[in-house]
A = this chain, B = another copy of it.
């Protein structure tokens, strides 16, 4: 592209080629185009055949109207402005247990200073709370010194990639389809992305034989494979791994000497009644593997779950099975950025120790939580049915996470039309959908898909009352699209 910044010292050719190579589809061109359409709609209402943009591209619940959990926000507000705790009016505005929790948290912080940099792993008292929450979840001990609080899960993933990747000779096994943070981070750090395919035919199953094949092939090419990424519940697949499958994965990592990088950010988003989330730490401990047998990192985030607090950038990683010398290195890297944001740290602790029976907020908290989770389950089902009713579309049920990931068998004529438009067939479909309906989805190619297959990811996050209209807009678009291109 031409630019008239002729005296600017830096051109595209001067940039880090790894940056140029990196791709991140969740906020790609199609989203930028959607933002332009949204501005159009504001400035010229009626200028498009829809009156709002529906961002189904990203797991961002509050942006589509989901309300925050009141208890969490009460505690955050009190920690932000602790002088409120000295005022009698506060009792009328805040629940007794949010006041108590805020006092407890502030007492854990030197000088009660929520405005100070904390320990680079996060405030010790909050890590204690998180560790106790993990113990309750797993039934196995957790150590606060194994917790690193981070600004959401993304920086934690980058930190691990930075630690493990020294050159392009270092490889990371990643699923296809995957959440593109992984491919982007591997590219930015200059490593080799080794794909293993999830098997769509059997409900996106993770087959050990596929892991073995890809590992063998990579090693035969001389790649030093360092780690395996597993996303459970799956993004974008929405599938929840069975316990026996998780055991095989742990066994595989142990046998092959791989670090297991477990993306467990959707641990509280499980809708299928016959499925349950088990952390890889719990699985490995229940198989008898101890701290020194297997290197495991579990990523968690305050952005997902029933809370969906994306903007707070709270999260943590639990980091087990690494020697003290390696911990020192990761601590050093964390310390260069000083610490993660304190509100996010507080929130990450709250999601691991929410109100319990008997607390003043318990009932309202549980009601808010249940309303969100049951509505998400209903929305997942409605969208699954809707997608499956479309011509040429098949879609597994979202057992968990926040996404549907349907497959479209596009007619040859559409594939040809895409070719003529110099774009990929799934991109062709997604752009058409956006321009016709205002619905933003992410192309399957953003996550990776078997060559010759086409998918898209659509979040289940639009508010429930809007779903029927969305389904009808989507269905109508799809019908017209197929009518236009059917052979």
Q: Specify the chain B residue showing the minimal Cβ separation from A78.
A: B77
Contact residues, A45-83 vs B (CB, 8 A) = 58, 60-65, 68, 70, 73-74, 76-78, 80-81, 83
A312 B259 Cβ-Cβ under 8 A: no
A1 B324 Cβ-Cβ under 8 A: yes
A329 B12 Cβ-Cβ under 8 A: yes
A166: which of B3, B15, B163, B344 is its contact (CB, 8 Å)? B15
Tell me if A209 counts as interface (CB < 8 A to partner B): no
A151: which of B60, B224, B313, B333 is its contact (CB, 8 Å)? B313
B73 A162 Cβ-Cβ under 8 A: no
Q: Specify the chain B residue showing the minimal Cβ separation from A114.
A: B311
- In the complex with contacts A18-B166, A19-B333, A338-B154, A10-B226 CB distance below 8 A: yes
Q: Specify the chain B residue showing the minimal Cβ separation from A293.
A: B7
Tell me if A287 counts as interface (CB < 8 A to partner B): no
Query: What is the minimal beta-carbon distance from A368 to any residue of chain B, in angstroms?
Result: 12
Q: How far is the CA of A11 from the CA of B343 in the complex (A)?
A: 34
- Please indicate the chain B residues that have their CB under 8 angstroms from the CB of A16 in the complex: 162-166, 170, 189
Q: Specify the chain B residue showing the minimal Cβ separation from A35.
A: B119
Query: What is the minimal beta-carbon distance from A165 to any residue of chain B, in angstroms?
Result: 6
Q: Most chain-B CB neighbours within 10 Å: which of A58, A76, A170?
A: A76
Q: How far is the CA of A226 from the CA of B8 in the complex (A)?
A: 12
Extra inter-chain contacts (8) besides given A27-B338, A58-B338, A155-B337, CB under 8 Å: A1-B324, A5-B292, A15-B163, A64-B111, A114-B311, A115-B311, A151-B313, A162-B188
A336 B188 Cβ-Cβ under 8 A: yes
